[in-house]
Amino acid sequence: LSDFAPQQTHVYTKNASYWDKDKVYIDQIVETYNSQYNTVGPQMVKTGEIDQADIGSDILDSWLLDPNTADLVSKYRAKVDYSYFYCFNFNPTFDAEYEPENWRLAVNNENFRQSLMAGLDRVRELSVLDPNDPQSLAINSVTPPGFTNADGKEYTQFGDLAAIMARDSFDETKALEYRDAARAELEAAGCTFPVKVLVRYNPATVDWDKECAVVEQQMEGLLGSDYIDIITVAGPESNFLTEVRRSGDYAFMKCGWGADYADPQTWTDPFYGDYKYAFLTEAMEAGDPVAVTVAEYRALVEAAIAETSDMARRYELFAAAEAYLIDHALAIPFSTSQTSYQVVRLNVFETQYAPFGVSGLRYKGQHLQSDYVSMEQFEANLAAWEAAR
């Protein structure tokens, strides 16, 4: 890192003393900050100012239909080292205007959480990111399918998790049944309707605002605006994790996690253990009703962690814990890494690859091409990589 000017420029320069420098083919990378990147990035590609830009769903069709740009568009490489899931905030710290105590009453009610889980049309939301094949991004587990295996069996096919993988959490009929049960229970507990649901998003993330708009329209349309009032709030662009997620300034939000090592335990970190910002930690500390459910989940995780000799048994126990997390709507599985579209001059299959860690972020091994990668080239590069693998 030869130059670092926050919100201005990052310059990375090849290290001539690196032990494997002959495998580093790019001499310098310059990253320039632009707060309007989502809007101007594609245009800057056309003018030759930058080598990579995301292509949002709002312009994807126009780029694919235009003969001048159709061959410039390709996809990101699919990953199994990261997944997204919707989280409920059990310890709200947001402003009084969003009624945090009323939200606390609602979110502690399992039927309420189940109504949101069954009422979220994930494929419809993912159509914002990939209008051509949104179903390919949706997953029913927190752990991405294909992440790891034991005794020749893929982890998500172990135990109780296998049944969850075979179904779709979106179910309009069940969503309405859960809604009616939750309303009766919550009204008796003094909860007022509609429940305000504060949904936050980072405007620096391409199309996240559009996803939130779809969620608001779709879920209020199904469950009724007299039941929930989804309120979407943007920002900040900088320090979003610290100021929003880690501080509890949200009610319901899409969150993500990346694997650190090749074992199912890595996917429990957002919800259990020593991770400082674990989503369920404060639910335990607050002593609210959901703490009983969280304690049972933690006990299942601890049983799995304790099994260190029989790997198949270990996977079965972790699958039981993950199934419990999902069955009790403590989190809502959403998608794998969202392989949206881009314009880029790199063959993304030349970089290192692993189902965990940061291998995919390294530029080592990659060449900067003279032309942008087309979709046809992307598919050919994928086929070559799969064959070599």
Please give the pLDDT value at position 274.
65
Question: Tokens 């009724």 — which residue?
Answer: 224
Q: Does residue 38 carry a pLDDT above 90?
A: no
Q: What is the mean pLDDT of the chain?
A: 92
* pLDDT of 340 above 80: no
The answer to whether the beta carbons of residues 107 and 251 sit under 8 Å apart is yes
Is it true that the peptide bond before 194 is cis, omega within 30 degrees of 0?
A: yes
The predicted model gives 91-95 an average pLDDT of 92
Residue-level pLDDT at 358: 81
- Summarize the confidence of residues 195-205 as an average pLDDT: 95
Cβ(161)–Cβ(322) under 8 Å? yes
Interval 150-166: pLDDT, tens: 998 999 999 999 999 99
The strand order across the sheet containing 331-336 reads 252-258, 82-88, 331-336
Residues 6+ apart with CB under 8 A from 162: 156, 319
Residue 198 pLDDT > 70: yes
Tens digits of residue pLDDT in 113-154: 999 999 999 999 999 988 888 998 999 999 999 899 999 899
* 333-362: average pLDDT: 87
Q: Is the pTM of this model over 0.75?
A: yes
Nearest CA to 329 out of 113, 164, 172, 120 is that of 113
Residue range 265-308, pLDDT digits in tens: 999 999 986 665 668 876 666 678 898 999 999 999 999 999 99
The more confidently predicted of residues 85 and 133 is 85
pLDDT of residue 158: 97
Distance CA 306, CA 91 (A): 29
Q: Delineate the domains of the chain, giving CATH numbers in brackets.
A: 34-76+342-388 (no CATH), 82-336 (3.10.105.10)
The predicted structure's pLDDT at residue 286: 63
DSSP states along 295-344: HHHHHHHHHHHH--S-HHHHHHHHHHHHHHHHHTTSEEEEEES---EEEE
Q: Is 60 left (phi over 0), alpha (psi -120 to 50) or beta?
A: alpha
pLDDT of 280 reads: 81
In this prediction, residue 284 carries a pLDDT of 64
Give, in order, the Cα–Cα distances in Å from 153 to each of 74, 82, 86, 156. Answer: 32, 20, 27, 9
What number of CA atoms fall less than 13 Å from residue 305's CA on the CB side?
13
Residue type present at position 363: Y
Q: What's the DSSP call for residue 241? A: I
pLDDT of 338 over the 80 cut: no
Instruction: Name the residue with tokens 């957002």.
Output: 270
Mean pLDDT over residues 259-263, rounded?
A: 91
Q: What is the pLDDT of residues 236-256, one digit of tens each?
A: 988 999 999 988 999 999 999
| Helical packing angle, 172-188 and 208-223, nearest 10° | 70
Please answer whether residues 26 and 3 qualify as being in contact, where contact means their C-beta atoms are separated by less than 8 angstroms.
Answer: no
